[in-house]
Amino acid sequence: MSIRVETLNHLRRLTYGKTAANKMVRTAKLTRPWTDRTHMAKNALNGGASEIAPGRVRVELAHGMRYGVYLENVKFRHKGRLAILYPTVKKMAPEIIQGWAKVISKGG
């Protein structure tokens, strides 16, 4: 019986993490600060979730293009003006954390 409950909790946590990652990807694509020319950078934004320890889920948002680091980093040409990863995470973190608290309170 405990295996089934733990499996259900695992799935609930992972599903929430993937939902949160997908929401961050959608937000990043809609609010990107750069002008699309080829749509490659926008289309390559991706996210995911993985359970890194019991009860701990990592939610990720990433660039899929090699030049993503130049858009994000303040030390390069654009000085971080074209960054989208950190601003998206910063904006959405409170909402994601509130949702996570609900998942955990339901036994997830």
- DSSP letter at 56 equals E
Question: Quick check: 85 pLDDT over 90?
Answer: yes
How many angstroms separate the CA atoms of 106 and 108, rounded? 6
Question: Where would I find the H helices in 1-108?
Answer: 2-31, 40-44, 68-72, 85-105
Section 4-24 average pLDDT: 86
Q: What pTM was computed for the model?
A: 0.85
Q: Give the mean pLDDT of 42-64.
A: 92
* Confidence (pLDDT) at 34: 86
CB contact at 8 A, 39 and 64: no
pLDDT band at 43 (very low <50, low <70, confident <90, very high): very high
Q: Which residues pair with 51 in a beta bridge?
A: 57
- State the first-to-last Cα distance of the chain, in angstroms, to the nearest integer: 16
